[in-house]
């Protein structure tokens, strides 16, 4: 597989007709077959967008999902309604002053033994295989995300002996999915949103401690679980990537600030992926110094173009930041992308389709200038 110099995290803004079709389906006004037809048409248009922008790697925009992680929760039974174990304090929400953003409330937690009802991504990968105009990626949530947002002491531990036991089962489900994708011919699998940033934020570290979960032990367990997904199949010719997210729930919000420094040595040195997609679109992520812990030969995809606002970045500024990063990771081991998806949830971030297109084209043009190709 080529080492793609221009990349993107995966989700794209949903067109209005797709949003309307999903609403109609949820209200029982549209059949699953009719919804799939609308999704197919929207995905074909997304392929055209990516091709016009010059991207060398394609996604389906995550158009068949309600959220970026919806493939897991939709395919696995065992969730119940309940408050999440850790409260995420969203910041930067459009129209809400800094420091006054609402906290995350409501949701689903794991209250029963998990039971897999169907494959997670087979309905997506089949269409990508037959219709993508070039190499394509399939994304899945990491085990550490599923457990960090689903394991609640006092509820989940009534059906699982430990957090580690749950991690093991989630890893097995996701590992089987990764193996099936490789057997189907998928050559780029991206694991999204491992919850290592939970161990950066002092407030969330304290929340875990207050629940009786030691953050340092939990980080070690998470790394083991995430690594387990990456085993059990032939990795030759396959790119296995991981995207670390700092919150992208729509409306330009985020929930995590702070340098990668606190987790960099343990995470970068231990997680057995080929490619890291890291958020670096603002000073919320700190500097590039933690990249000194990145093992040689790993590709670092610098997320220097924000998906949270429509204003186009200055290319000279991006070029300077790539040069800064190359002090810690050799230029031949760097690549470029937006910092996150454009629509991790249905609503998407507050920018227009044209602004989205211009940002993707900027990534491609900048990568071509730096590396000579994408």
Phi, psi (deg, nearest 5) at residue 174: -75, -35
User: Which residue has 């396959």 as its token pair?
Assistant: 238
Average pLDDT of span 293-298:
96
Decide if 11 is inside a domain: no
pLDDT band at 299 (very low <50, low <70, confident <90, very high): very high
Using a 10 angstrom Cβ sphere, with 0-12 exposed, 13-18 middle and 19 or more buried, the burial of residue 317 is exposed
Q: Is the pTM of this model over 0.85?
A: yes
Decide if 1 is inside a domain: no
> Total domain count for the chain?
1
Decide if 2 is inside a domain: no
| Residue-level pLDDT at 107 | 80
Average pLDDT of span 362-372:
98
Average pLDDT of span 267-275:
97
| Residue-level pLDDT at 87 | 67
Decide if 6 is inside a domain: no
The rounded distance, in Å, linking the Cα atoms of 224 and 272 is 10
Bridge partners of 338, per DSSP, are 305
pLDDT band at 293 (very low <50, low <70, confident <90, very high): very high
Phi, psi (deg, nearest 5) at residue 76: -125, 125
Phi, psi (deg, nearest 5) at residue 130: -85, -20
Q: Please name which of 163, 235, 236, 227 lies closest in space to residue 191, comparing C-alpha atoms.
A: 227
| Residue-level pLDDT at 264 | 94
Q: pLDDT tens for residues 181-206?
A: 999 999 999 999 998 988 888 888 88
The rounded distance, in Å, linking the Cα atoms of 374 and 364 is 7
Bridge partners of 110, per DSSP, are 79
Decide if 224 is inside a domain: yes
| Residue-level pLDDT at 92 | 61
Mean pLDDT taken over the chain: 91
Decide if 8 is inside a domain: no
Q: By the 8 A CB rule, do 259 and 285 touch?
A: yes
* E-assigned strand segments in 106-238: 108-116, 138-141, 188-192
Decide if 9 is inside a domain: no
What number of CA atoms fall less than 13 Å from residue 331's CA on the CB side?
A: 11
The residue range of the domain holding 320 is: 16-371
Average pLDDT of span 150-175:
96
Average pLDDT of span 116-145:
97
Q: What is the CATH number of the domain that holds 200?
A: 3.20.20.210
For residue 101, is pLDDT > 70? no
- Structure tokens that stand for 72 in this block: 């897991």
Mean pLDDT lowest among 35-49, 88-102, 105-119: 88-102
User: Which residue has 């343990």 as its token pair?
Assistant: 266
User: How many residues in the chain?
Assistant: 374
Decide if 367 is inside a domain: yes
| Residue-level pLDDT at 100 | 33
Q: Please name which of 280, 250, 243 lies closest in space to residue 9, comparing C-alpha atoms.
A: 243
For residue 90, is pLDDT > 70? no
């Amino acid at each position: 597989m080529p080492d793609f110099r221009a990349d993107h995290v995966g989700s794209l803004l949903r067109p209005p007709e797709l949003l309307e079709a999903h609403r109609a389906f949820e209200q029982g006004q549209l059949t699953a077959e009719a919804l799939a037809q609308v999704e197919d048409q929207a995905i074909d248009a997304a392929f055209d967008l990516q091709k016009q922008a010059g991207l060398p790697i394609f996604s389906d925009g995550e158009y068949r999902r309600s959220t970026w992680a919806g493939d897991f929760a939709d395919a696995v039974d065992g969730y119940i309604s309940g408050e999440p174990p850790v409260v995420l304090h969203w910041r930067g929400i459009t129209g809400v002053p800094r420091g006054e953003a609402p906290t995350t409330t409501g949701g689903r937690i794991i209250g029963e033994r998990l039971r897999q009802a169907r494959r997670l991504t087979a309905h997506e990968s089949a269409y990508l295989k037959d219709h993508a105009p070039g190499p394509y990626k399939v994304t899945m949530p990491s085990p550490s995300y599923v457990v960090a947002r689903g394991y609640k002491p006092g509820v989940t531990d009534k059906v699982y002996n430990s957090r580690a036991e749950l991690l093991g089962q989630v890893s097995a489900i996701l590992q089987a999915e990764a193996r099936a994708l490789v057997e189907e011919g998928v050559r780029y699998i991206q694991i999204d949103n491992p919850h290592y940033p939970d161990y950066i934020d002092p407030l969330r570290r304290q929340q875990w401690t207050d629940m009786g979960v030691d953050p340092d032990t939990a980080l070690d367990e998470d790394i083991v679980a995430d690594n387990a997904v990456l085993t059990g199949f032939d990795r030759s010719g396959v790119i296995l990537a991981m995207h670390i997210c700092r919150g992208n729930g729509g409306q330009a919000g985020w929930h995590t600030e702070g340098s990668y420094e606190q987790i960099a040595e343990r995470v970068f040195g231990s997680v057995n992926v080929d490619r890291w997609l890291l958020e670096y679109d603002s000073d919320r992520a700190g500097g590039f110094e933690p990249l000194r812990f990145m093992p040689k030969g790993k590709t670092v995809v610098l997320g220097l173009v924000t998906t949270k606002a429509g204003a186009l970045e200055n290319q000279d500024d991006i070029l300077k930041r790539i040069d800064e990063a190359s002090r810690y990771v050799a230029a031949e081991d760097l690549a470029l992308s937006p910092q996150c998806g454009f629509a991790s949830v249905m609503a998407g971030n507050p920018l227009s389709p044209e602004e989205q297109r211009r940002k993707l084209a900027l990534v491609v043009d900048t990568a071509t200038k730096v590396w000579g190709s994408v």
